[in-house]
Amino acid sequence: MVRSFGILRTELRRSVAPSAGGVLVLLTLGFLYLISGPWEKGPTMWTAQWTSMALWTRFLLVFLWPLAVGFGALQGMRDHRSGMTELLATTSRPPLSRAVRTAGASALTLTAAFACPVLLGAIHVHTSDGHWHTGWLPLSLVGALSLVAGSVFGMGMGKVAPSALTPPLLAAAALMGTLTMQQAQDPMAGERIVPLRFALLSPANGPVRDVLTTFSASVHAGQVIWLAGLGTTGVALLVAARRRARLAAVSSALAAGVIALAVLPPTSSRTYVVDTVMAAPQCNGRVCVTRAHSSRLPDLVGPAYQALRIMRERLGDQAPLTMNESTVQQAPGTVRPRSRTTLFLYFDDWSVTHARGTDLVRSLIASGLAPTCLSPEDGSRRKIREIAAQSVAVAWATGELEPLPGTLWSRDEAMALAQPVWETLHSRPEQEQRSKIDAMRRAAFSCQGDPLGALTKGGQP
């Protein structure tokens, strides 16, 4: 075994592998640490949780994978470029044995290169409040496998078509593929250029939208089948000497692709599933959050009970009794689930994640009295009217009109809308106030009609 290790060591030092590994590590770390984007801030940042770390590092395969393919092609051309083809053809060792060493060197360096950001991320997640679970491992393992398979496939192509154009063309084609398919893999993608099932053949997933969803097992299975087939084709191309053998080699990837497409899920809901470990409820009495956000529970409980108590006082048996973090994935263009008995919490909502103390109490009351029909990122005129209605509702419950916490809309505008409505409402008899509030709540819970309009007109006899 000593000598075969010697050959592997030589390949590790002298082949394209170490350069490829180095380039991949530098690009990944540069991207994660130096470039600003959703991966480095917010609740879904790459160091927040194990799954988000695994998904963001795999997100980077959008350019790492084409590079691995290109470097592989460069490596595959080595015998031809060096004029060694003839001499090598006269040696007795089977070509597979040689291919395994060369491909092995690339596999080791690329896996190590991919492991670097994953390990760094693991340290970040571990030292922050990430919850350990093993559900993220398949994501990273498939990611590493994709680099190995891509590189070996590139080697095979470089061997078969040893032209100076092969590596750049192959890498460019791979980049086109990963970019297109990544767009189609985004769970929030509206119109998909390619069907989701087909897009899932690319190892580069879309941006991480929340920390409670992960890929389903059938995604992992389909991807492993496809990548194994692609890698097998690469090895077979490295070994094949004749045209017929090369055609047979390509059939391995095609067959794997067909099987993978049968295994991969066709719909978004079967692709992205709730991560049961991370979504497990952690409760303090009637207030529950997911395990992913259990560290927020201590700060949340006080304001939550206060909000539940105030709503109980004002709404009586109409008030929500419990508070739960929602684990429902929201499809684009749909409204969030709402219930009159349970107040649903969302940690992608700035007013929940950043507000403290009385601000948080008012924010929770707002969600309990008039849950929003629009996304937290919405900044439209309709959103401002919604905020104004919520502000008036909170003022009705607490007796004081104050701006709600939030950033994506103008507080002054919201307050300018809310002020006259509140003053009118406040001047009315208690029973009329309540009937207007009920009308507003009907509008908010059904997402039909204008809640602010309901406060001015609704409930009038």
Binding site for another protein (CB under 8 A): 1-4, 6-7, 10, 14-15, 78, 82-93, 98
d(CA 146, CA 205): 12
Which amino acid, one-letter code, is at 360?
L
Q: How far is the CB of 71 from another protein (least distance, A)?
A: 14
Q: Which is nearer to another protein, 89 or 262 (CB)?
A: 89
Q: How far is the CB of 26 from another protein (least distance, A)?
A: 21
Neighbour-count burial of 283, counting CB atoms closer than 10 A to its CB (0-12 exposed, 13-18 middle, 19+ buried):
middle
- Say whether 325 sits in a helix, a strand or coil: strand
d(CA 421, CA 429): 14
Q: Which is nearer to another protein, 94 or 332 (CB)?
A: 94
Q: How far is the CB of 16 from another protein (least distance, A)?
A: 9
Task: Specify whether the CB–CB gap between 157 and 166 falls below 8 A.
Answer: yes
Q: How far is the CB of 84 from another protein (least distance, A)?
A: 4
Q: How far is the CB of 100 from another protein (least distance, A)?
A: 12
Which amino acid, one-letter code, is at 384?
I
d(CA 155, CA 162): 10
Q: Which is nearer to another protein, 83 or 333 (CB)?
A: 83
Q: How far is the CB of 208 from another protein (least distance, A)?
A: 40
Element (H, E) at 447: none
Please enumerate in sequence order all residues whose Cβ is within 8 A of that of 289, keeping only pairs 6 or more positions apart, or say none.
Answer: 281, 282, 283, 296, 297, 300, 324, 325, 345, 347
Q: How far is the CB of 1 from another protein (least distance, A)?
A: 8
DSSP string, 313-361: HHHGGGS--EEEE--PPPPTT-PPP--SSEEEE-TT-HHHHT--HHHHH
Q: Which is nearer to another protein, 6 or 281 (CB)?
A: 6
Neighbour-count burial of 449, counting CB atoms closer than 10 A to its CB (0-12 exposed, 13-18 middle, 19+ buried):
middle
Q: Which is nearer to another protein, 3 or 429 (CB)?
A: 3
Q: Which is nearer to another protein, 84 or 254 (CB)?
A: 84
Q: Which is nearer to another protein, 11 or 186 (CB)?
A: 11
For residue 44, what are its two tokens?
């879904």
Please enumerate in sequence order all residues whose Cβ is within 8 A of that of 393, keeping only pairs 6 or more positions apart, or say none.
Answer: 365, 366, 369, 370, 437, 440, 441, 455
Q: Which is nearer to another protein, 89 or 193 (CB)?
A: 89
Q: How far is the CB of 112 from another protein (least distance, A)?
A: 20
User: What's the angle, vertex CA 135, arms to CA 145 and CA 226, rounded to 5?
Assistant: 30
Q: How far is the CB of 96 from another protein (least distance, A)?
A: 13
Q: Which is nearer to another protein, 84 or 335 (CB)?
A: 84
Residues recorded for the chain:
461
- Sheet containing strand 342-345, edge to edge, reads 281-284, 287-290, 322-325, 342-345
